[in-house]
Amino acid sequence: MRAFPFERDFVRVTLDKRAHTSGETSYKPLVDELEVHLRQFGFKRIVVDLAASNINSDGDGKLPVVLDTLKQRLQFTTSVTENEDRWVALPPTKPGENTFMYGFIYIDSEAGFTFHMGGSFSVTKNGAIQPHDDSAMSQPMLKSRIQRDYLVARLSPEDIKALGKSVTPDWLQYYKTDSDSIYHKVRWGWAYNHIGAYEKALTFLEPAYLLEPTNGKLLFELSYSYNALRRADAAERVLVRAVKDLPDDFFVNREYAYLLLQSKRYDKAIEQYHRCLKLCPETDLAQKSEVAFNLAQAYNQSGKPKKAATWFKNAQKWAPEGTPVAEFFKNNPR
């Protein structure tokens, strides 16, 4: 038995079939034991071949494969938010399909999480990655904005090499020019908040808060994370000071109103939401309808159904088509 050169999480082993005469089934116990030992060394992919004669090469992928753990490595068990600046494969569109779209996940400071399409590949019978000819792929398909978190399969350095890509694309440098700035930290916090990874967002926002505690956009994103995580005490510490320092900031005041509503301080929430309505631009109907909707909820929870009904009507009247509030009333006619 000999092990061929490997890259990081990949190892290929060839068993000499000449040493046994009882057929391939006799190899299974040995293969099982081999897999256990190799996984203890951290190998994620193990390929075991059978050799019928002397092997003079370092493995060309043409030997019959007894075991290939590639499928385990391509299980879709890591999320988009765990794969910033990584190559990943997307789940197949149909169960059992052997075509995988792949690409690079990164954050665009203006657009948020983005998927840069690399192409597609299949997996051959001997466990090798086989790139497809994607030269006909249309240019508009190359980038797409990621609106929600979902599971992907992280590609290993061996996979990336097989696909003819660099682990870190050259163009990524243009998105990393000011990684130490407050702006960068706020935008990365926003990107993670937007996709629902609130704990990760805090790793950017909390250090920034120590440096610039009066930055309105930062205060909103930080309090948004805390509210989403139901960390009411932390949110209140930030927001009580924020509404004093930035009394005319609509988003900071709106987040404070939301905290009061979630904390069941309905009278204070009502007062705060009325304040938000005065701060909200008249032309921003999406925000006005959301504030009106939450104000209606506060009235309803405080035992004032008539006022609640009035504000639900306002919310429905103001909500632009396609917004969450409009969709709510569409699905829940009153």
Tell me the pLDDT tens digit for each residue of 153-181: 899 888 999 999 999 999 999 888 777 89
Q: Which amino acid, residue 213?
A: P
**Is residue 2 over pLDDT 60?**
no
Q: What is the pLDDT of residues 136-150, one digit of tens each?
A: 665 556 889 998 888
Write b or e for each residue in 302-311: b if 16 or more Cβ atoms lie within 10 A of its Cβ, otherwise e: bebeebbeeb
Write b or e for each residue in 233-249: b if 16 or more Cβ atoms lie within 10 A of its Cβ, otherwise e: ebbbebbeebbeebeeb
Task: pLDDT band for 304, please (50, 70, 90 cuts).
Answer: very high
Based on its alpha-carbon atoms, the radius of gyration of the chain, rounded to whole angstroms, reads: 28
Q: What does the pLDDT read at residue 176?
A: 83
Q: What does the pLDDT read at residue 1?
A: 30
Tokens representing 318 are: 């103001």
**Is residue 18 over pLDDT 60?**
no
Mean pLDDT of the chain: 84
- The residue with tokens 């493995």 is 59
Q: What is the pLDDT of residues 78-96, one digit of tens each?
A: 899 999 999 999 988 877 7
Query: Can you tell me the mean pLDDT for 98-109?
Result: 93
Integer Cα distance of 267 and 142 in angstroms: 50
Q: What does the pLDDT read at residue 3?
A: 35
DSSP sequence for 275-334: HHHHHS-TT-HHHHHHHHHHHHHHHHHTT-HHHHHHHHHHHHHHPPTTSHHHHHHHHS--
Write b or e for each residue in 166-201: b if 16 or more Cβ atoms lie within 10 A of its Cβ, otherwise e: eeeeeeeeeeeeeeeebebbbbbbbbbbbbebbebb
Three-state SS for 129?
strand
Q: What does the pLDDT read at residue 75?
A: 72
**Is residue 203 over pLDDT 90?**
yes
% of the chain beyond a pLDDT of 70: 76
Q: Directed axis angle between helix 266-279 and helix 250-262, to 10°?
A: 160
- The residue with tokens 């610039």 is 212
Q: What does the pLDDT read at residue 6?
A: 37
Three-state SS for 87?
strand
Q: What does the pLDDT read at residue 266?
A: 97
Integer Cα distance of 235 and 88 in angstroms: 35
Q: What does the pLDDT read at residue 261?
A: 96
Integer Cα distance of 334 and 314 in angstroms: 12
Per mean pLDDT, which range of 3-7, 67-71, 272-276, 297-301 is the poorest?
Answer: 3-7
Integer Cα distance of 216 and 191 in angstroms: 16
**Is residue 9 over pLDDT 60?**
no
